[in-house]
Each structure stands twice: as structure tokens, then as C-alpha cells.
Structure 1
Amino acid sequence: MSEKKIVSIEDRIPKLKQARKKKANRRLVLYLSFFFFLISIIVYLQSPLSHVKTIEVNGNVFFTDEAIIELSNVEVQTSIWSVDKEEVVDSLETNPIIEVAAVERRLPWTVNISVTEHERVAYTKEEDSYFPILSNGTILREYGQKTQNGDAPLLVQFTDEEYLHKMSVELSELPARILNLISEVHWIPTAENNNKIMLYMNDGYIVDGTIRDFSEKMKAYPSIVSQLDSDEMGIIHIGVGAYFESLEHMEEKEETKEQLENE
């Protein structure tokens, strides 16, 4: 039988003391680290190190960075922790141009402001200037320009704000490929239909329709045009149902009407 090695308590005590000492040292280092970490936080919060030094702005098109910062009421040299994110968002979103805003603190001293502005969907012309119209119907009169860029349709004779707003919303819901085909939209209300509009398209066609459900009905436009002879111009009706009426047929109808009236 093999003999078991017996270790006396006297031999084990130094090792136990050494292990306990290492454990106590590790605990002391942990406590000291935590203590200095808390001290560092307190110093950071109480010193200019926590003051806002940089304000970043992104997503803005119509507004300059400086204008966004002014609207936000965020100031440099104030504590980054005093920036009330909800209050800043509320300040920005009350502006009719801004649809959504977000604010983020980036330690140690940066505030990031992101905005999404309402999309520009059209222009209107007043005197000799063109003004952008946003998807919520807001006219940006401070952004007048002498020429139309051709990147959005021109709204003509929309003298009533209610119908201007309705038309703007409908245009904002159109796919870009269809919106880009529209040159002008004329509001021509009648006694029977206040929503009546006439569109002049970049491909030469005319569209007769209404503001109500315009975006949904206009989605059929590319399909209708693809079935037409490219040399035959006319009016595409998208009010009740959808059909094409050639200019030649319209002229014949007009001649027949005149003949009947003269008889």
C-alpha cells in the first residue's frame, strides 16, 4: 500500500495567509478604483469638462445648422446634462418645416440634433418668384427663387389653403417616378366639384381628375400611358374610372356640338 502524504497545519498556514492577503489586496484595488471613478464623475459634472462644446446638426435641407441650433435653444458652455432632450424636440417640432426631430448626448461634450423636414412636393408662383410647398401645405416664402428647378410640379390657382393642403398631402403620397412626370397642377373648382384639377404632364398628356384620392388613382397613370400610341395626344380621365380621350376625338365632339347649336 502506498503511503499518503500528510501536510501539517503549520505548513499550510503561510499559504493560507498569502492567499488571504492577495484577496484583500484585490478587494482594496477594486474599492479604490470605484472610489476614484466616483471622484472622476463628480469632477467631470462640476467642471467645464461637462459643458457643451460641439453641437452637430444633420438631416436639414431648408434650415441652416445655425438656424436649427437657435430653434433648439441648446447653448454651448452649459452642462450637457442640463439639455432637456424632450424640450428640445418639442421646440423643433413646433416649427412647420420640421416633421421629426431627435436629440442625442455624446459624451463628453457633444450634442447631436437630427431633423427630418417635410418633403418639398411642389412650387407656387407669386408675382415673379417661385416658392417651395411642403407636404403639409406650408409655403416657404422665405425661400423664393426666380426660376422653377423643374424638380417638382407647379401648383396654379390654389387660392384656398384647405385645398392647397389637400393637394400637397396627395402629392407627398405619390411615388417619386410619377411625381416627376407632373409639370403643372391647376385647381379648377366647379359648382359640382370643388376638388376638380387639371394636370399637365411632362410627356405631353393632360390629366383630368380630382384632389380626393388623387394619389391612389394617379398610380394607374404609367399603365394607362403604356397602352397608348405615343403619337396620339389627349386627356386621360382618372375621376370616375379611367379612360383616354384623344384630342382629335375632342375636336370632333366640339364641331358636332357647334353644328347642333347652329341648327
Structure 2
Amino acid sequence: MSKGKVVTIEDRIPKLKQKRKQKANKRLIWYISIFFLLVMCVVYIQSPLSKVSKIFISGYYNVSETEIIKLSELSKETSFFRINIENTSKQIETHPEIKSVSVEKKLPNKVLIKVSEYKRVAYISNEEQYYPILENGQVLHSLTEATIPSDAPILINWLNNDDIQDMAKELTKLNPSIANSISEIHHTPESSDPLHITLFMNDGYEVSATVRNFAEKMSAYPAIISELDPSLKGVIHLEVVSYFKAYEREEDEESESER
């Protein structure tokens, strides 16, 4: 049996001392790094860099940037590290037109806010005032602008809130391209149909329909007008059976009056 090499204690002592020295050096470097990191943190907190320098907001349309910043309660005096993302999001979501909010802190001191708004599906016209109706059925306060809104249909002669809610739900289901082609929706109840409506389209046509299954019936509108003579305008009936009835021409009316 072969014998292993014998290492004396005198030979091992230098190596042990070297290892201990290396460990001590590593520990010292670690302590120094932590110290400088703490110093940098203190300097950062005490400097203007620790305050919010810029707030970037995206996704807003009807709600102004100023309103969103005011709701967030953030400013250039706000400590970047004291921002509570959850609380800030909840504060912004208190606005009736805001559906959801995403808040992100980006080093060194920027805040990104992305909002998603409820869509305005229509406006109620009342005494020259226009009240936005959101996709969730909520009716807002009247607009402060004097101009007539053009981004959604205008509801005229609507008095019953339940009827308004039903109409809003149908408009939400409607294809955006079709909804954008509607100028006005008049509530024109009939004895046989209290939910009868008359639409005036941006392309000059008139539509006679009902609130019940309105979105489903109205989805056929593009196909219907594609088959009509563009020079003829009239009423497109969508109540039970879909059909088109042209307006009587002035010449026809004059010839009938002469008879």
C-alpha cells in the first residue's frame, strides 16, 4: 500500500494566512461597497433627482391631461419613492369617464400613466345642452363647449331613462363605422311600438327602426345602401322586413297637385 504525501503544519500556515487575508479583503470590499451605496442613496434622496421630474400620460381623449394629473395628486414636489402606485391608480379611476389606469415608475424619477376611457356612444340633446352617454350607460353633466358634438350620434326627444339605457346598450354593440355614420336618433314612439326611432344618417338617408335588436338590424345598413341608387334618397325601414322607400320628388308632387 502506497503512502500519501505528508504536509507539515509549517507548510500549511502560509496558505491559511493567505486565505484568511483574501476573505478579509473581500469582506472589506463588501463593507465599502455597502457604505458608498448608502451614501449615494442619502445623496439621491436629498437631491432634486429624488423628486418627480416628468409625468407622461397616454390614452386620454375626452379627459384632459390636467384633470388626470390633478386626480393623481402628483407634482414635481412629490417624492419618487413615496409614490403608491395602487393608490394613485384608484384616485385617477374616480373620474367617471376613466375605465382603467396603469401607473409605472421609471428610474430615475419619471412616472408613466396610461388611461383607458369609457367610450361616448351618444349625446342627449336638451334645451341646446348636450349630455354625453358612456358605453356603461352613465349620463354625464352637459358639455361646456358651445359646439355641437360630432363624435357620436345625438339623441333627440328622449325622456325615459330606461329607454336611454337600452339605446346606449345597442349603440355599444354597433360596429364603430356604422355608429359614426349616424347623425341623429329621434325617439318617435308609435302606438304599436313605443320604442320606435327615426335616424338621420350623414349620407342623407333616413332610417325607421326600433330599439329592440337595433344593433343586429342596423348591421345590414352598409349592404343595403350599396345596392341603392346614390341619386335617390329616402327611408330605409328596418322594423320587421327591411325595405327602402324613396322620398317623393317635387315634380311628382306638383303633377299630382295639378290633377
Q: Return the TM-score normalized by structure 2.
A: 0.73
SS in 1 for 2:146: coil
Q: Distance in 2 between matches of 1:142 and 1:228?
A: 38
**Aligned-partner SS, 1:146:** coil
Task: Mark the CA change 1:110 to 1:156 in structure 2 (over 3 Å): closer, same or farther.
Answer: same
What is the one-letter code of the residue matched to 2:246?
L
What residue ranges of structure 2 are gaps of 5+ in the alignment? 1-6, 249-259
Match of 1:243 in 2: 242
Separation in structure 1 between the aligned mates of residue 43 and residue 58 of structure 2, nearest angstrom = 31
The equivalent residue for 2:123 is 123
Partner of 1:180: 180
Question: Contact 1:234–1:244 (CA<8 Å) still a contact in 2?
Answer: no
Contact 2:130 2:143 survives alignment (8 Å): no
DSSP 3-state at the match of 1:143: coil
| 1:58-73 matched pairs, under 5 angstroms | 58-73=58-73
Mapped contact 2:129–2:142 kept (Cα < 8 A): no
Q: Distance in 1 between matches of 2:86 and 2:194?
A: 41
How far has the Cα of 1:217 moved from its partner?
2.6
Output the amino acid matched with 1:99: K
* DSSP-derived class of the 1:158 partner: coil
**Contact 1:128–1:146 (Cα < 8 Å) also in 2:** no
1:144 is matched with which residue? 145
The answer for the alignment partner of 1:171 in structure 2 is 171
- How far did 1:185 drift? 0.8
Alignment of 1:67-82 (within 5 A): 67-82=67-82
**Residue 230 of structure 1 corresponds to which residue in structure 2?**
230
Mapped partners of 1:47, 1:128: distance in 2: 54
Mark the CA change 1:248 to 1:192 in structure 2 (over 3 Å): closer, same or farther.
closer
Post-superposition shift, 1:186? 0.9
* Inter-partner Cα distance in structure 2 for 1:173 and 1:243: 20
| TM, length-normalised to structure 1 | 0.72
Tell me what 1:109 maps to: 109
CA distance in 1, matches of 2:52, 2:73: 12
Shift of 1:244: 0.6
Distance 2:74 2:205 in 1: 51
Q: How does 1:3-152 map to 2 (within 5 A)?
A: 21=21, 24-41=24-41, 44-45=44-45, 49-130=49-130, 132-135=132-135, 136-149=137-150, 151-152=151-152
Segments of structure 1 that go 5 or more residues without pairing to the other structure are: 1-7, 250-263
Gap change, CA 1:165 and 1:72, over 3 Å in 2 = farther
1:161 to 1:86, Cα distance in 2 relative to 1, 3 A: farther
Check conservation: 1:170, 1:215, Cα contact below 8 A. Answer: yes
94-103 or 167-176, which deviates more: 167-176
3-state SS of 2:147 partner: coil
1:214 maps to 214
Matched residue of 2:78: which SS? Answer: coil
Q: SS at 1:141's partner residue? A: coil
Report how far residue 87 of structure 1 moved.
2.1
Contact 1:96 1:138 in 2 (8 A): no
CA distance in 2, matches of 1:111, 1:31: 33
- SS at the partner of 2:229? coil
TM-aligned CA distance change 1:102 to 1:191, over 3 Å: farther
Q: Could you say if the C-alpha distance between residues 84 and 191 of structure 1 is closer, same or farther in structure 2, counting changes exceeding 3 Å? A: farther
1-structure distance, mates of 2:111, 2:242:
55
Tell me: CA distance 1:153–1:59, structure 2 relative to 1, closer, same or farther (3 Å). Answer: same
2:196 is equivalent to residue 196 of structure 1: yes
In the TM superposition, residue 119 of structure 1 has moved relative to its aligned partner by: 2.1
Against the structure 1 CA distance between its residues 145 and 124, is the aligned structure 2 distance closer, same or farther, given a 3 Å change threshold? Answer: farther
Cα deviation for residue 237 of structure 1 reads 2.9
CA distance, structure 1, for counterparts of residue 183 and residue 194 of structure 2: 21
